[in-house]
Structure 1
Amino acid sequence: MKKNILLFVADQMRRDSLAHMGNPASITPNLDSLLEEGVSFENAYCQNPVCVPSRNSFLTGFYPHVNGHRTMHYLQREDEPNILKEMKRNGYEVIWIGRNDVVPSNRAKTDYCDEYYDGITDENTRDCISGSFNHAAHHNEDTKKLYEKMLSGDNYYSFYMGKLPDGEGYGKADWNCVEKTLEYIDRRRKEKTDKPFFVYCTLSFPHPPYACEDPWYSSIDRNLLPKRRPNIKDVPNKASMLYGINEKQNLNNWSEDRFDELRATYLAMVSRFDFQFGLIKNKLLETNLYDDTSLIVFSDHGDYTGDYTITEKVQNCFEEPISNVPLLIKPAKGIKVEPRISQAQVELVDLPATIAELANSKLSYTQFGQSVLHAVAGDEVHKDAVFCEGGRIHGEKQAMEEGHGPDSPYWPRLATQCSEGPEHSKAVMCKMGKYKYVMRLYELDELYDLEQDPLEIDNLVVKEEYQKIIQQMKERVGQFYMETTDFVPMKRDKR
């Protein structure tokens, strides 16, 4: 009998925001407790550090370059595979709750799931409601005032809103999604069916704006926050995209206390996500479905959260805060597991293959991920190298994501992205053990020793003694592209 699978997905959560990953200010008891019966991967990486390319990757098993998913405006084509489709084809009841960022709004969801709920509308729907992130859709009058206050002075591009009066305005959609998930689990307890379920519940927190209600907002001890990474303007030989964003975000005169409030609010959002996960875990226990359900918790990418005096994310840089993400797996009873924090290098692109093995099925198409269940069972070696990629070539206007003027809080990033200088250079990250190498098309490459330089401020690519390591990693990037450069469709066309 096939086991149930539930994915609980954060948006923009960095791996080091979890307490069991060493953050002394973080409060994540429910996720931490998964280590008693599951695995948390310390070296898990997304394949692009913004939403749409990352989600298209982890739902297919394709790297972003395979089908050109390098922009927020290019969603899945109708003929592209997707793990939700695969699970439906393999006899699962597929329930999609929350964020979209994958299927265009003019396409019905029925090919992907049995039920879809976006967190905003009142009922389950089988139509083409988008579910994409929309500030206006998440505000009531109180949070609208906070949002307008955010867009003022040197706060304008920070994404900092602060303490929410309650959970009824901004952030309400996530509560709706969790409630719908709990209702579904209750419904499954009452139904007499052998059909397994696949729930894809994907929330918006801790995606900026940085805002949260009590008790989470006040629970974070500001005195325990880790030290911020240094201002990018004082660090040489980094990507020009970061200097461009820093110059436009206007945060260089912020006090450390202001950054502490922003970072603490972000951790409060993470803690609220953890609480919501606890509600779902307890509901599975209450309904006697927990043992028969594999849980996978992860995020699509991370967030700078003030590191380098930058907030939010960027599409073609790969520092740990935005590329290194949480990934926790608690398998159903009967599946071998060695509970621990694992050092194995894994990628979100590995999720479809992992889910297929959990479901005791095979994917109907060739893809590039590898199941991590052997690592869940105890292996500490999964991949010799992991990759993250982004950017564009000069002249690719369709990848610039134009249309945001200075009135948009996203303007610092997107205006820099529209430059035809080196800023939006096509780039790829390759991490092998303690070394992280970034190959850039139009500017200086990067190399960091993450053990000696965890803040990624000393670019070793300019040092002669590291040229052999750089050449080895260049060769590994070449092998990566040779192995994954395209996807041959599974279906033959008539001639």
Structure 2
Amino acid sequence: MSQKRPHIIIFNPDEMRADALHHLGKNQAAVTPNLDKFVQSDAVSFENAFCQNPVCVPSRCSFFTGLYPHTTGHRTMTYLLRPGETSMFKELKDAGYYVWMNNRNDLYAGQYSGWMESNADEIFYPEEGSRAPKAMNENQRGEEGGKYYYSHYEGQLNVDENGKNYTSDDETIDAAIDKIKNWKDEKQPLCMFLGLFYPHPPYQVEEPYFSAIDRSKLPDRIRFEDCIDKSKMLKQYHEYQNLEGLNEDEWDEIRATYAGMCMKVDEQFGKLVQALKDVGIYDDCAIFVMSDHGDFVGDYGMAEKAQSSFEDCLTKVPFLVKPPKNIPVDAGVSDSMVELVDFYATVMDFAEVVPSHEHFGRSLRGAVIDRSKQVREFSCCEGGRRQGELQCDEYHQPGGRTAQPADVYWPKKMAQADDEAHAKATMLRTKSFKYVSRITGEDELYDLKNDPQEKINQINNIEYKEILLQLKDKLLRWMQETSDIVPFDYDSRMNETMLWNLVKGMVPADKEDDVRGKIRSGISIGALFGYCKSMR
């Protein structure tokens, strides 16, 4: 182990699409100067990074453990890590790190008193931010049946007497900066996790961010009416949301507001980085920036997200890695396929901590040193449920019975109540193709070179028969490889009494205590037989 382990800084906005980053070149309206500068000089940005589930809890349970959602069943919004399970935070804490986090981690089951607290040294709970000024137009949503009713759009926020809309995110950033400025321990490494709410809907932001986005530079929106044979989940959700009444100018306002929220996130990141530089520990930090999943934000005529829909706007996420100064960095954009499970492996590698369990992440150290290095051939993402599996969380109830039309999430809950629409599914994506396998309903296949917006499902096109077979074979082999894990510790097939009864006929009376002692110490069966035979 090196003399000084790096500080681990994790900056984790919620529901941020990859194309929210200006430096990736997909959205010229994006304003992210701090993240762009970070990549130009000090970090690698992976433009083909994919989450392992398109909603927050399963995604975080995955990237904080290095395990896929199907491996341990963490694939719903209401099955979080429970006592007896480990995570990156607990492993770093046990290895001597001081773990500081804010309370918004969507990771630990809340019904167990003290459970979340046992995984950290300090948890920050925002208070003032919950009283931030609300939207200027309090009636933006309108009446049921109106075009904005399920859009999640709130628009421009008010500011306080200081010209600020001080949210829980702002409070978390300031608390983290205060911790950094008062960090005195030169020997103990710090692990800091900032789980932000922005740019999660509702789509709302204050000035100067609200007006800062040039609407004319927004990329063309992917239109639902231009698509052929999309999934039943997308069709059902689209129908229930009923946002077709919004015209392009109105969609642009929603998209620009989302971009403004991302701009605020970028500014908060800049403040955090400056604090690390001010106290002289920036070079000693490994810094990770990633989101748990993306957002439709108007693409396919949709708002928010869906758990068993796998378009790039939901599954392709920002993933930026800055290593500590002892590891060289080939700063810039990498085109390698990577997954968020690789975050876990990379943190443990940089921290020089041996994982306590088997996992499926791959350290990105090599790709950080040399951006031309390819980490993965493909990436996978999962979602949905088995037919009739209605008990697994509140979104999966028959007839959407837990939802009322007044609930802004009613369209999602209704769509997810449909067995076929919400069928368990897995996406496999290469740089050229995307295949989605579903346990019921129609699969999907997209030719990303000719159809990067995933408009035309080619699953029944005979011209893609060989490609489809290859992708199915890759998915089968991936599922076989990742279907389970074996614990590092192993079990004895016999208890002490069973072992003694097995060998007692071989043991002289005066050696009984000696042999029983070896049994209590955990001697293997083979070694026990060998020892007893030597007494003859």
TM-score, normalization: structure 1?
0.93
Quick check: 476-485 or 401-410, which moved more?
Answer: 401-410
Question: Structure 1 residue aligned with 2:126, among 106, 109, 119?
Answer: 119
Residue in 2 that maps onto 1:158 = 151
Aligned equivalents of 2:119, 2:23: Cα separation in 1: 34
Aligned equivalents of 2:273, 2:164: Cα separation in 1: 25
Aligned equivalents of 2:426, 2:86: Cα separation in 1: 24
CA deviation profile, 1:23-71 (whole Å, cap 9, x unmatched): 1101100000112121000000000000100010011111001111121
Residue in 2 that maps onto 1:131 = none
Q: CA deviation at 1:106?
A: 2.7
One-letter code of the match for 1:150? R
Residue in 1 that maps onto 2:98 = 93
User: Residues 280-429 of structure 1: matches in 2 within 5 Å?
Assistant: 280-378=272-370, 379-399=372-392, 401=395, 402=397, 403-420=402-419, 422-429=420-427
Answer whether contact 1:154 1:251 (CA < 8 A) is retained.
yes
Answer whether contact 1:386 1:431 (CA < 8 A) is retained.
yes
Question: Structure 1 residue aligned with 2:174, among 170, 179, 199?
Answer: 179
Answer whether contact 1:171 1:205 (CA < 8 A) is retained.
no
Q: CA deviation at 1:151?
A: 5.3
CA deviation profile, 1:190-215 (whole Å, cap 9, x unmatched): x2431010101110000000000111
Residue in 2 that maps onto 1:130 = none
Question: Structure 1 residue aligned with 2:186, among 187, 193, 202?
Answer: 193
Say if 1:240 and 1:111 are closer, same or farther in 2 by CA, change over 3 A.
same
5+ residue gaps, structure 2:
496-536
| Identical-residue share of aligned pairs (%) | 40
Question: Structure 2 residue aligned with 1:4, among 4, 7, 11?
Answer: 7
Q: CA deviation at 1:160?
A: 0.2
1:258 aligned to 2:250? yes
Residue in 1 that maps onto 2:140 = 149
Aligned equivalents of 1:150, 1:380: Cα separation in 2: 48
Answer whether contact 2:80 2:108 (CA < 8 A) is retained.
yes
Aligned equivalents of 1:147, 1:11: Cα separation in 2: 24
Answer whether contact 1:139 1:169 (CA < 8 A) is retained.
no
1:274 aligned to 2:261? no
Aligned equivalents of 1:181, 1:383: Cα separation in 2: 34
Quick check: 207-216 or 433-442, which moved more?
Answer: 433-442
Residue in 1 that maps onto 2:436 = 438
* 1:405 match: secondary structure: coil
Aligned equivalents of 1:69, 1:290: Cα separation in 2: 34
* 2:69 match: secondary structure: coil
Q: CA deviation at 1:171?
A: 6.5
Say if 1:269 and 1:145 are closer, same or farther in 2 by CA, change over 3 A.
closer
CA deviation profile, 1:133-191 (whole Å, cap 9, x unmatched): xxxx9455x51775653253321100000001127998611001101110010111xx2
Answer whether contact 1:25 1:221 (CA < 8 A) is retained.
yes
Q: Which has the higher contact order (CA 8 A, sep 6+)?
A: 1
Question: Root-mean-square deviation (CA), in Å?
Answer: 1.8
Question: Structure 1 residue aligned with 2:81, among 76, 79, 88?
Answer: 76
Answer whether contact 1:98 1:174 (CA < 8 A) is retained.
no
Q: CA deviation at 1:260?
A: 0.3
Answer whether contact 2:181 2:279 (CA < 8 A) is retained.
yes
Residue in 1 that maps onto 2:204 = 211
Say if 1:98 and 1:222 are closer, same or farther in 2 by CA, change over 3 A.
farther
Q: CA deviation at 1:433?
A: 2.4
One-letter code of the match for 1:160? Y
5+ residue gaps, structure 1:
123-136
User: Residues 6-155 of structure 1: matches in 2 within 5 Å?
Assistant: 6-22=9-25, 23-35=27-39, 36-107=41-112, 108=114, 109-120=116-127, 138=130, 142-143=133-134, 146=137, 149-150=140-141, 152=143, 153-155=146-148
Who wins on radius of gyration, i.e. which is larger?
2
Residue in 1 that maps onto 2:482 = 484
Aligned equivalents of 2:266, 2:249: Cα separation in 1: 25
TM-score, normalization: structure 2?
0.86
Residue in 2 that maps onto 1:129 = none
